Amino acid sequence: MSDQNSERKLKHLFDGGEWNVYDPTVLNLGVGAPGTDLLEPCCDIFQEATAHCLRREKEVNQSLIFQYGPTNGTHEIRNEIAKYLTGMYDSPVNCEDLIVTTGASQGLHFLLSTMIDFNGYLFVDEYTYMIALDSMKHFTSLTIVPLKLNDDGVDLNDLEVKVKDRRFKSENKEFWAIYYTIPTYHNPTGILFSQTVCRGIVALSRKYDFLVVCDDVYNILHYGTKPQHSRLLSYDTRTDADYGGNVISNGSFSKIIGPGVRLGWLEVPPRLKPQLLLSGIINSGGCFNNYTAGIVGSLFELQLAQPHIARLYAAYKERMLAVNAVLKSELPNTCRFVAPSGGYFVWIRLPNQVNASEFLEYCLEHEKITFIAGSRFAVEEGKGQQFFRISIAFHKKEKLVDGISRLCMALNAFIKIVKHT
């Protein structure tokens, strides 16, 4: 009998394999998710928010939370998200510009399926969020074009040359191309795109009329000075003479409340909203996550979400600053890293002859530590072998500090071995 349908009863996304982040015998520095200690308060605050929300549904709202929701989400939840983000971003977020999603992964898939000509182009950073790449590859008629990435963001010359060469007029979709990026605390490199680069991207998107999709899941997690512009979208100023509406911000509560909640939002310019809201997928099912959106609305209304997010933020900040400090003093000086000022990830460059996948094997064998080798994030086959990414999100500071210190020791030893072979 075939066993293809047998089930392993997994408890979480990273369960059942060598990436099990909950395995106490291995220190997994690969996973970009909040740790156990950070999610622990969720049961209590969600219980309170659920009771509040459902009481109101029963008493005054005819239980409409269980009905197909308005396509973009109820006014109430969009208003809560807009109010919160306006405070965090220090720039206005309009509730009319928001569309509720089930998180940034779904937001991206939704945009790929609706906004771009299927014979078109997807421009991406040469190293980018690996699972976004997996989503893009489902759209087999689209061509993925990697762009050079510098320490301050995408290389604007490279972007212009590659866009200019490929531009065409789409007969059936709004855009002939999308540039997908993570401008604020980039995954995997941890960098923050400079103001010059952000302005340049917006200028090019207007000139060549392509859509910029910003994966904005880390934006409020700044650990130094707060960036003046909290998201690239705010450079696409609506009062400009050449404004068209070329940038979408794809946000999520996964990193700041909990990934299992599956709630996010798209912040979209007015010209794109009707096309998105008239799409079959959103009209057939209504709001992508009406029930959960209602509960999270109560979480904000009751002031339970705000301190929870603040707790996660403080923990991430403490973890990132501690990891940066260990790397600054203990990373072999033939390696390089740009200390991130926010987000989840640190991107480390090894000396030329040292291969990150081989170091990963060595590190697992000698120190029981894992991370993700750079080639997983590379668009082009064979690239990224000199890099690896570590995440600061899951483990507590003490465990991280000890682990990073042991990783640096292992790296020192491994570099010596490579040099002598």
Ligand X SMILES: Cc1ncc(COP(=O)(O)O)c(C=O)c1O
User: Please, what is the minimum distance in Å from the beta carbon of residue 60 to ligand X?
Assistant: 31
Q: Name which of 176 and 377 has its Cβ closer to ligand X.
A: 377
Q: 378 by DSSP, 3-state: which?
A: strand
Q: Is 183 in the site for ligand X (CB under 6 A)?
A: no
Here's the x/- map for ligand X, 42-81, by CB under 6 A: it reads as: ----------------------------------------
184 contacts ligand X (rule: CB under 6 A): no
Each as own residue / partner, the long-range contacts of residues 409-414 (CB below 8 Å, 24 or more positions apart, any chain) are 409/330, 409/367, 410/359, 410/362, 410/363, 410/366, 410/367, 410/369, 411/331, 411/332, 411/335, 411/350, 411/359, 411/363, 412/332, 413/366, 414/354, 414/358, 414/359, 414/362, 414/363
Among 35, 69, 73, 103, the residue binding ligand X under the rule CB under 6 A is 103
Nearer to ligand X, 144 or 409 (CB): 144
| Closest among 158, 113, 107, 114 to 129, alpha carbons compared | 107
Q: Does 254 bind ligand X (CB under 6 A)?
A: yes
Interaction between residue 217 and ligand X (CB under 6 A)? yes
Q: Which stretch binds ligand X (CB under 6 A): 34-42, 102-110, 198-206, 364-372?
A: 102-110
CB of 132 to ligand X, least distance (A): 6
Quote the CA–CA distance of 126 and 150 in Å, as a whole number.
10
**25, 52, 97, 214 from 278: Cα distances, Å:** 50, 32, 15, 22
216 binds ligand X (CB under 6 A): no
> Which of 65, 182, 198, 363: binder of ligand X (CB under 6 A)?
182
Element spanning 266, H or E: strand 264-267
Shortest distance (Å) from residue 283 CB to ligand X: 22
Does residue 105 belong to the site contacting ligand X (CB under 6 A)? yes
Q: Give the interface segment with ligand X, choosing from 13-21, 100-108, 219-227, 312-320 (CB under 6 A).
A: 100-108
Cα four-point dihedral sign 365, 371, 375, 376: positive
3-state helix, strand, coil in the chain (%, to 5): 45, 15, 40
Rounded Cα distance, 83 and 78, in Å: 8
Give the range of 12-20, 91-99, 101-109, 272-280 binding ligand X by CB under 6 A: 101-109
Nearer to ligand X by Cβ, of 288 and 414: the residue is: 288
Q: Is 252 in the site for ligand X (CB under 6 A)?
A: yes
Enumerate binding residues for ligand X (CB under 6 A): 32, 103-105, 129, 182, 187, 215, 217, 252, 254, 259, 264
